[in-house]
Structure 1
């Protein structure tokens, strides 16, 4: 199970570790700037503490053979579903959503950890069915397996995270032995269904598919909104990024962030802080680091020693890429406000810990790959 043999740590993939650390460092600087107006130094200290704890979690996970973890995928899946049910029954509510478990000294968001657990469990299931992937039984069982946590997360309600869960499955299925014709058919049906559902939601104020506040965000995206209402944060975010120009105003020099014109910017709108204070070059640098991480992850998936490892890495990298795109799409008004954090950069213990546990799994797969090469 736990493997700490001589020379093991020498196989740690620096091209995965370094981009992650850089992103976390950028995040801590941006969080520090976003909270400096109020003197809330405690938030920065908490994020640093979250990082240290996350580092320990990552090291622990990357030293447990992922094949051994895969043997327990049913148990991990049952625990994940049980915790998601507990959130709906006894979870803490905030802003009309019930997404947290209050432990007294900290509030955890189980859906963040559920994404990592689902990546592991679904990877094992797809690996078991990979040689017969195009059968109705295989596709149906995998779909049902993913559908249960999707529904439980969506009921919190947490539409953005539940959609990420679906995208993780799509990425994993794409790199499996599923026939390309089936993939294209599902993609076409999915796109058409999404267009129809969006059209219905926008045209029907009394629809029951999603919550009213979620509908308002979608309608605002397509029809425009009040800069003092649903569109307020996005409007201020665009102003902040635009005012940064090419080089930015400098750390702690952003007027919009420093004067609190962009509330809670250290959470989902941290990119706006980076844009205002480090400019277009800062945003491009941030995107470049994320792309380096994603590119390296793709290579690790491609060279993984087995299908199980490949699906783990593909699912995790798909999650990082999706959340990064959605988060940046929100702060630039390309997408409606979703409340999805930027991986490794936005403030939050649950998000950072879950992402670092996921990175531990990816490093685990990477080191096994190196182990077979030498």
Structure 2
């Protein structure tokens, strides 16, 4: 009897251990950040409505389904949610082991996009068509650089800074150069900003930051004085600040002027959903992608635009909180990098829509039409969730 009782007790203890291990494995799920997910979904839902409104009149005139663009974006949303779940479930610390693989793969796609396999549109060659789906490798490359540089800085902490800074520069400048050749100046700026934030959060000494800042300014001056930029690129960069210049080709400011008119016409409360005249008449080019904020401003006015910006501020707040609460440097760097990219892209996109920034072709995260961008941003939200759930 005593032997049987001892066996039962041992088996019970073993079951309890197995159950405890199983519960520990899934414990991170208890620490989800619902505000982060719901805010991203709210922005995406708003984006779907704005995309529908932006293309409604044009698609009807062409005799095409009015939901053509929305249905494509919905497919990207489904894939994005799958990527979000995957990015949240797999422990983010394992990414350090696969950082090199992700980085090399992103470089390979950036090279391929510059070959005849790449697809050109609007004077830029930025896409690869895979089975009817347009992949924009530069969006994936931003994630690859974030993971690679964050992993490198994490692994090299406590060692001499010069090799750490040097390798980080190489890891960033290689994909940035390939993106610049597409040409995609806007995304190139994102790489520079991302590296600067990672250096700052990673506690790189001030002397290196000052030296890199001076080198960056020198590179900009050199590019402007040595004709490294095409004339049309220079014109686009300076047109927003030359509103009163009579010598300026008016076509260079057409997009900016129409964007300002659309947003200004919305006034405080907007013209109403699907009631935007600038939107319906397609006066603003690319109003479903880079200039979708004009649709928000015209149809929902200042109040609607403020709500959109407030939602982005919530995402930034939650991301900063996750960065602060992270248990290790790698998690802090990942979360800080995501927040940095989000803040910069929102600032540049909204800025070029209201005429205070040059037109650089950067989409508004979650809101602009674009499958690759939406999927990548949901993946980054999943990465933030991952760091947040494992902060203990």
TM-score (norm 2): 0.87
- The 2-side partners of 1:242 and 1:294 are apart by 27
Which 10-residue stretch deviates more, 6-15 or 120-129? 6-15
Task: Report if the CA contact (8 A) 1:31-1:270 is conserved.
Answer: yes
The aligned counterpart of 2:75 is 49
Are 1:175 and 2:201 an aligned pair? yes
1:69 CA drift (Å): 1.8
The aligned counterpart of 2:287 is 265
1:227 CA drift (Å): 7.9
Q: Tell me, which stretches of 5 or more residues in structure 1 are unaligned?
A: 202-206
The aligned counterpart of 1:33 is 53
Are 1:364 and 2:386 an aligned pair? yes
- The 2-side partners of 1:83 and 1:139 are apart by 25
- The 2-side partners of 1:68 and 1:344 are apart by 27
- The 1-side partners of 2:43 and 2:113 are apart by 30
In the TM superposition, what whole-angstrom CA distance separates every residue of 1:241-299 from its partner, at most 9, and x where no partner exists? 10001111110011110122123201110100000111111111111110111011011
Change over 3 Å in CA distance of 1:250–1:197 after alignment to 2: farther
In the TM superposition, what whole-angstrom CA distance separates every residue of 1:61-87 from its partner, at most 9, and x where no partner exists? 111111112111112211111111111
The aligned counterpart of 1:59 is 85
Are 1:72 and 2:91 an aligned pair? no
1:137 CA drift (Å): 1.7
The aligned counterpart of 1:92 is 119
In the TM superposition, what whole-angstrom CA distance separates every residue of 1:31-68 from its partner, at most 9, and x where no partner exists? 11111112332111111221111101111111111111
User: Superposed, which structure 2 residues align to 1:1-374 within 5 Å?
Assistant: 5-38=25-58, 39=60, 40-89=66-115, 90-132=117-159, 135-187=161-213, 190-191=216-217, 194=220, 196-197=221-222, 200=224, 207-224=226-243, 229-369=251-391, 372=392
Matched residue of 1:327: which SS? helix
- The 1-side partners of 2:249 and 2:55 are apart by 23
Matched residue of 1:230: which SS? helix
In the TM superposition, what whole-angstrom CA distance separates every residue of 1:89-131 from its partner, at most 9, and x where no partner exists? 2211112211111124121111111111111111101111232
In the TM superposition, what whole-angstrom CA distance separates every residue of 1:307-333 from its partner, at most 9, and x where no partner exists? 111111111110011100000111111
1:4 CA drift (Å): 9.7
Task: Report if the CA contact (8 A) 2:30-2:389 is conserved.
Answer: no
Matched residue of 1:231: which SS? helix
- The 1-side partners of 2:238 and 2:386 are apart by 43
Task: Report if the CA contact (8 A) 1:130-1:177 is conserved.
Answer: no
1:175 CA drift (Å): 0.5
Change over 3 Å in CA distance of 1:343–1:269 after alignment to 2: same
- The 1-side partners of 2:82 and 2:152 are apart by 28
Which 10-residue stretch deviates more, 184-193 or 168-177? 184-193
- The 1-side partners of 2:230 and 2:378 are apart by 31
Which 10-residue stretch deviates more, 73-82 or 320-329? 73-82
- Structure showing greater radius of gyration is 2
Matched residue of 1:150: which SS? helix
Task: Report if the CA contact (8 A) 1:330-1:336 is conserved.
Answer: yes
Tell me the C-alpha RMSD between the 2 structures: 2.0
TM-score (norm 1): 0.91
Which 10-residue stretch deviates more, 258-267 or 237-246? 258-267
Task: Report if the CA contact (8 A) 1:73-1:121 is conserved.
Answer: yes
- The 2-side partners of 1:72 and 1:255 are apart by 49
In the TM superposition, what whole-angstrom CA distance separates every residue of 1:176-227 from its partner, at most 9, and x where no partner exists? 1212344345445545654x357x45xxxxx531233211202312333768
1:160 CA drift (Å): 0.8
- The 2-side partners of 1:4 and 1:60 are apart by 19
Q: Tell me, which stretches of 5 or more residues in structure 2 are unaligned?
A: 1-22, 61-65
Matched residue of 1:132: which SS? coil
Matched residue of 2:157: which SS? helix
Size of the alignment, in residue pairs? 360
